[in-house]
Structure 1
Amino acid sequence: MFRIRRIFDDLSPANGKALARIGEILKEQFPGARPGEAESIPEKLRNQLKYGFQTILFAAEKGAGKVHGFALALYDPLLKFTFLDYIAVPGAEAGGGLGGILYERVRKEALDLGCVGLFFECLPDDPELCRDGETRKQNAARLRFYERYGAVPVAGTKYETPLEPGGDNPPYLVFDGLGRQDPLRREKARLIVAAILGKKYGDLCPPEYIRMVMDSFRDDPVKLRPLKYVTAPERTAVAAALPESERVALFVNRDHAIHHVRERGYVESPVRVEAILREILPSGLFTEKKARHFGERHILKVHSAVFFSYLRKVCMAMPEKESVYPYVFPVRNAARPPQDLSVRAGYFCMDTFTPLNKNAFLAALGALDCALSGAQALAEGRHLAYALVRPPGHHAERRLFGGFCYLNSAAAAAEYLSAFGRVAMLDIDYHHGNGQQDIFYGRSDVLTVSLHGHPRFAYPYFSGFEDEKGEGEGRGFNLNLPLPEHLSGQEYLDALRRASRRIANHGARFLVVPFGGDTCKKDPTGTWSLAARDFENNGKLIGGLGLPVLVVQEGGYNTRLLGENVRSFFKGLFEASRSAGARLWSPASRDRRPAPRG
């Protein structure tokens, strides 16, 4: 079973491996391609503006990410058209239907983008344009394949005029209306032709040649060649569903409900997760994945062994439905912890309202596994992942718990991803992300950024100040943006822009977002009033960074609005992430036509 996966960048190890194989396939299948064509694909994905088009790349994978074919398309967001540059299916896979699957995926993308149509080049079946009979048969086979989708050459123009007089086998311009009956207007077609010839073939096509081809489009609407090989298109419909590989990978801590403190005022309750799921699952943006268990070594990379050992020991020894609240703190002698485990709780805690019990510890382990599974998904090429977990974790420091947090799931995910390159953490909970600040304070490979209520009025009160910038090697790699007690959505967005600029300057390969819904209006733990549209705008700004993003759920306690706000945030994140960021398959044989117009 093949999986068609969109590759947005070369940042993850899986994407790097896939791009290397795609480069090999391109060179194998297109020996006449211009030098550097394969090597330029990663840069085209990274630098969408340099080439005048947005590059869209799909890989057909089977098994452990092995690439069996690819399709590369160019999207013009101004003229709203897509140009199919390459489809390649090597070796034994050719003729097995994979080329059709890739083509249908490109058609869907063009339709989703609101394009007037899909354009590409196909070699001619006309004896006056192609002298070799065997080559004409191959060309006819390709044209027959595309006619099944209603795609036919543009007729009555000079697009297929050879660059050199007497040249052989120049390409047709083929138009696929994507199953719609809208005519292709002349002026639109002229601009599209100018974009194709100027942007893609500008180094080959002189301006006078481009002008000659443009002027040859005289019919309005543009004439299309009648169907020649089929009586009617067979596959004009385009699937409406979002492909699974491009949805947000969702990891839910399904056992979170075991941690339920039924005490008045304890707002970190199981209903939070259910409120979010109710809103996000019907959106079609998510695909739930099973989290895997990662083990203790990942915890000990972000938490001290002494702290974790105590946490496990005291929690697992607690009777069912009983909790210990820290009530004695080592103000006078921090070097001599008391022997009694319940009394010793204050030695590792930063407040008096975060209880220790067996289920809290087990739920925290499950949350950490979900976050690490999300990190692994990014490393394997996923572009967006969401760890929907509780209890939260961003207040848990290397040797302290508190603020409803026991283990820092987001920090563990960032640590995991740091093995593959630089990481940025952007904490957008109402409260300061003191946990990851403490854990990464002396490191430069993980940038920690936090937007939060100023510690003069907001928990945790003793951290989150602007002058906390990191230490040693990490100096300058911690950015705190403490914000006023009351602010508008626009003021928050302005601060988020400042944070985003710092993240862009960091050169991160991955972004981990500890996300709090407690920035919304009437949250019982916050003072701000962000609405659903603000969450969507924030998501758009973060998605515009073009990075693979893992979102880890932290706070958010107004359960009436929480789900809607999370859904709005992901809507903005998803849409911006998709925007930030030809030799054609032959059903008969491998296409070995020369580089287009070369």
Structure 2
Amino acid sequence: MFRIRRIFDSVVPSNQRAISQVLEILRAQFPTARPIDFEKLPEQLTDPLKYHYRSLLLVAEDGLGKVKGFAMLLHFPDVRAVYLELISAAPKGTGGGIGGALYERVREEALALRPLGLFFECSVDDPLVIQDQAVLKNNKARLKFYERYGARPIINNDYASPVRPGDRDLYFLVYDNLGQSCPLPRTALRKIVRAVLERKYGDLLSESQIKEVVRSFRDDPAQLRASRYQKERTTTKYDIPHKPIALIVNEGHDIHHVKDRGYVEAPVRIASILHEIDKSGLFRRLNPRRMAERHIKAVHDRHFVDYLRRACASLSPTQSIYPIIFPLRNLQKPPKDIELQVGYYCMDTFTPFSSNAYKAARGAVDCALTGAEEILSDSPLAYALVRPPGHHAERRVFGGFCYFNSSAIAAHYLSQFGRVALLDLDYHHGNGSQDIFYTRDDVLTLSIHGAPPDIYPHFSGFSNERGEDAGLGFNCNYPLPFQITAERYRRTLHEAINRIRSYKPRFLVIALGLDTAKDDPTGSWPLMPADFCVNGQLVGQLKLPTLVVQEGGYRTRTLGMNARHFFEGLWEGHNHSLLQKK
């Protein structure tokens, strides 16, 4: 198994490790290439002005972070072209679908940039030029592979001419129209060819050689070689703007069902949301993957995690335990009795644990991390529909119906690959996420919530709580009064979104509380379905790879409708610019 993710820079340690492995593959697979062509790779990602193109690096990694293959694309926006500079599996890494998966992802990334097409070089398959039969066989196999996608050499030109007399290392210029039906005009093609030759080979080719090759493209529109290895077929256009939202549901959530009077965090919440969002047609359902407990312990205190697992396992199926005493003065000596320890690890008097609380919370974490992996791969939007919620769970305590902070665990996981903004839209302050990231600057935490001390959790969420040490300025609270208007909420959301833009994260995690809705039993605000749609649009317009993790929302009569409207707005906002150009 492997996933494909995009490398945005060479700063984050996980990206540095991936780039280092890419360079190893390059040296092994292309031993005759110039070292300078490899050494510039990290700089290409961060300095498009120097190279006159923007570079996109995709890596296929296994679960241990080992790079199994990669692809490097160059975007020439001024001539509306994407150029596939390199694509390669690791040595002995062919097979297993890596090449095909990488090229399909390349096509998706390219089409999202709205180019005239995808261009790349492929070694010629002419037996008069290639004498070595093994090399000729490999060249034919490559061209056969690309023909499956409708990509073929552009004919009637001198692109595959030798740079120096006797040179037999010759390449076709191959064109993939990405399923688009428009012909490729000669004027546009000549500009693209010139851009490729000047920006990639300007130190090898003279201006006269470049002019000669450019002028050799005389067909208008450009003509492609007839298929030699595949039957002619019509390619299917990728519908990138309509890519569905990855939906991961915590199927086992209903094993955690506390039936005590007044306990509103009930299993029916998930069914209510599913019933409505299924109507939208925006989602594709995925199974959650089982994730290691180490991801939880990367965010939560290991003693707390171990205690919750042991304590839940010790209870009968019908038993729930609530805290009865809290160690305000001595946190250094936890009691040995399991029931007394509840108060040591819990922050309130209305969040019990039961025999299945740990299992259900683990399932929620699995869903959130699966969603995180999806947006690291090829999903622009993912939704972890889970219960129990998690955003009140701090590093070493649970509470507010929350046991493990799924949103924070996913944000921490994503932070290995780039900066993350965690936007909490629940009616109640995201105290858990604040506590976990308060001294860090690689995860920006923002929370719009009912103002303390009147609203739970009462003792956190003040506007002057801005972070500490390296995290100073990277925790943003937006407390709002008990009674507000939808317009007031939107103005505050605009403020939070502007802060996210200035932070320039690579990923966005949304802790989605729907308890901001009118008549929610735990809230006091007036938001209606239309408001959720508009708010979703505003967030979607950030156009960041976005993971949404379900938190609160307890009025089941309107819960699903509000969720559907939020995601319809989110999807529309995220895809709006592409739809406009279609």
TM-score normalised by the chain length of structure 2? 0.73
Matched, 1:478 2:475: yes
Residue by residue over 1:71-92, the C-alpha shift from the partner in whole angstroms, topping out at 9 and shown as x without a partner, is 3333445655432222334655
Q: 1:211 to 1:528 in 2, by over 3 A?
A: farther
Q: CA deviation at 1:190?
A: 3.1
Residue 559 of structure 1: SS of its match in structure 2? helix
Match of 1:29 in 2: 29
Q: CA deviation at 1:294?
A: 1.8
Preserved contact between residue 425 and residue 511 of structure 1 (Cα < 8 Å): yes
Q: CA deviation at 1:348?
A: 7.0
Match of 1:531 in 2: 532
Matched, 1:253 2:250: yes
Q: 1:434 to 1:92 in 2, by over 3 A?
A: closer
Matched, 1:452 2:453: no
Match of 2:389 in 1: 392
Residue 560 of structure 2: SS of its match in structure 1? coil
Q: 1:61 to 1:314 in 2, by over 3 A?
A: closer
Distance 2:131 2:305 in 1: 77
| Match runs of 1:40-55 below 5 Å | 40-45=40-45, 51-55=51-55
| Match runs of 1:318-357 below 5 Å | 320=318, 324=322, 354-357=350-353
Match of 2:362 in 1: 366
Q: CA deviation at 1:466?
A: 1.8
Distance 1:18 1:315 in 2: 40
Residue 430 of structure 1: SS of its match in structure 2? coil
Higher relative contact order (CA 8 A, sep 6+): 1
Preserved contact between residue 485 and residue 525 of structure 2 (Cα < 8 Å): yes
Distance 1:148 1:261 in 2: 55
Preserved contact between residue 405 and residue 433 of structure 2 (Cα < 8 Å): yes
Q: 1:476 to 1:359 in 2, by over 3 A?
A: same
Amino acid corresponding to residue 117 of structure 2 in structure 1: G
Preserved contact between residue 13 and residue 416 of structure 2 (Cα < 8 Å): no
Residue 72 of structure 1: SS of its match in structure 2? strand
| Match runs of 1:426-575 below 5 Å | 426-441=423-438, 447-455=444-452, 458-471=455-468, 474-483=471-480, 485-488=484-487, 491-501=491-501, 503-504=503-504, 513-519=510-516, 525=523, 527=525, 529=527, 530-541=531-542, 543-544=543-544, 551-557=548-554, 558-565=558-565, 567-568=567-568, 571=571
Distance 1:11 1:437 in 2: 25
Preserved contact between residue 4 and residue 102 of structure 2 (Cα < 8 Å): no
Distance 2:429 2:480 in 1: 10
Q: CA deviation at 1:535?
A: 1.3
Structure 2 unaligned spans of 5+: none
Match of 2:152 in 1: 152
| Match runs of 1:8-23 below 5 Å | 8-9=7-8, 17-23=17-23
Match of 2:183 in 1: 183
Matched, 1:269 2:269: no
Q: Which sits farther off after the overlay, 255-264 or 461-470?
A: 255-264
Residue 390 of structure 2: SS of its match in structure 1? coil
Distance 1:311 1:171 in 2: 60
Q: 1:77 to 1:27 in 2, by over 3 A?
A: same
Preserved contact between residue 469 and residue 476 of structure 1 (Cα < 8 Å): yes
Q: CA deviation at 1:572?
A: 6.8
Residue 257 of structure 2: SS of its match in structure 1? coil
Q: CA deviation at 1:527?
A: 2.0
Q: How many equivalent pairs are there?
A: 559
Q: CA deviation at 1:359?
A: 5.3
Structure 1 unaligned spans of 5+: 579-598
Residue 432 of structure 2: SS of its match in structure 1? helix
Q: 1:344 to 1:566 in 2, by over 3 A?
A: same
Preserved contact between residue 162 and residue 168 of structure 1 (Cα < 8 Å): yes
Distance 1:228 1:337 in 2: 74
Q: CA deviation at 1:555?
A: 1.8
Match of 1:582 in 2: none
Q: CA deviation at 1:292?
A: 3.8
Residue by residue over 1:208-228, the C-alpha shift from the partner in whole angstroms, topping out at 9 and shown as x without a partner, is 665665555444322x25427
Distance 1:520 1:77 in 2: 43
Q: Which sits farther off after the overlay, 471-480 or 431-440?
A: 471-480
Residue 183 of structure 1: SS of its match in structure 2? coil
Residue 560 of structure 1: SS of its match in structure 2? helix
| Match runs of 1:405-416 below 5 Å | 405-412=402-409
Residue 463 of structure 1: SS of its match in structure 2? coil
Match of 1:592 in 2: none
Q: What is the RMSD computed on CA atoms of the aligned residues?
A: 5.3
Distance 1:266 1:89 in 2: 53
Q: CA deviation at 1:538?
A: 0.8
Preserved contact between residue 153 and residue 175 of structure 2 (Cα < 8 Å): yes
Match of 2:286 in 1: 287
Distance 2:286 2:253 in 1: 19
Preserved contact between residue 375 and residue 382 of structure 2 (Cα < 8 Å): no
TM-score normalised by the chain length of structure 1? 0.71
